[in-house]
Amino acid sequence: MGVPESAGAGRFRLVGAPGEHGGLAVIERSVDIADQRIAFVESAGTGPAVVLVHGNSSSSRVWHALMAGPFGQRFRCLALDLPGHGRSARATRPDTYSLPGYAAVLAGFGKAMAAEDAVVVGWSLGGHIVLEATPALDSAPGFVIVGTPPVGTQAQLGEAFLPNPAVNVGFTADVDTETAVFYAANFLAPGSTVPTDEFVADILATDGQARSGLIASVGEGRFTDEVAVVGGLTQPIAVLHGEHDQLVNLDYLREQTMPTLWRGAVQVLPGAGHTPHVEATERFADLVTQFIDGLDATGDPS
């Protein structure tokens, strides 16, 4: 599927070739957003668009199982690699490695792909990026965040996240293989048998400045009040969370006021950790499908 050069602001150019992921042909491409080359994958589905945003030190690869199944065959899934992650180029400007910087890329990606009306799904850091970008995503009928505790101040970070040293790895520039293995293990539920090789490869491939730049920007207060965002959303938001998430405080998440929260509660996926889309792909797909199917033309829950 091509995109007109005139789409959005600036010039957009698509390149790439098909690749195979989980038995489904997923098209690997890239698009220029301003001066930033962004890689992405697209599923074969022709239904409503769904934009998928990965987490810290990860890539679009974490969505491949979802895109390879019935979900990706039905919906037009677009999963981008954030700057400095996966196949995307490193950031051309240091301030890109921040929530506002990533949010601008996400908004530009939606415009470039003619997917401004997509349901936007963000995992972990990706969820924070989605919340940061909501003012620019006013055509989105709904949002899904996964393993993402909304925070309004720096002080709330200590409440929102568990006292797990793995959290700090996501803000450390230089990560060796041993540390990457430790970080990846904490993405999963304790005792999980899900392989971590792809997680580790993505962690090691990520530009270290993306991690250190992110925490520096947070320290400078360059992020929106996410508590206020979820408290004032007009679109529905689904909040999904792994029962055994080792990084995020579920009790904190449940305390947040979210008037448009889907089904009025955080949807907890039994047995899963911080990556329920990987550990419990079918159940995750079912929940997101139900959420999308419950949106009518105005974006209100049906």
Q: How far apart are CA 151 and CA 120, in angstroms?
A: 19
Residue 41 buriedness (CB in 10 A; 0-12 / 13-18 / 19+): buried
Convert the pLDDT of each residue in 251-287 to its tens digit: 999 999 999 999 999 999 999 999 999 999 999 999 9
In a domain, 78, yes or no: yes
In a domain, 21, yes or no: yes
Convert the pLDDT of each residue in 188-243 to its tens digit: 999 999 999 999 999 999 999 999 999 999 999 999 999 999 999 999 999 999 99
Q: Which helix (H) or strand (E) holds 53?
A: strand 49-53
**Beta carbons of 69 and 281 less than 8 angstroms apart:** yes
In a domain, 1, yes or no: no
State the pLDDT at residue 72. Answer: 96
- Entry pTM: 0.92
Supply 150's token pair.
């909304």
Q: How many Cα atoms within 13 Å fall on the side-chain side of residue 53?
A: 33
Domain that residue 280 falls in:
15-293
In a domain, 298, yes or no: no
In a domain, 130, yes or no: yes
The structural domain count of the chain equals 1
Convert the pLDDT of each residue in 199-208 to its tens digit: 999 999 999 9
Q: How far apart are CA 259 and CA 236, in angstroms?
A: 9
In a domain, 5, yes or no: no
The pLDDT of residue 20 is above 90:
no
Confidence band for 27, pLDDT divided at 50, 70 and 90: confident
CATH number, residue 138: 3.40.50.1820
In a domain, 8, yes or no: no
In a domain, 302, yes or no: no
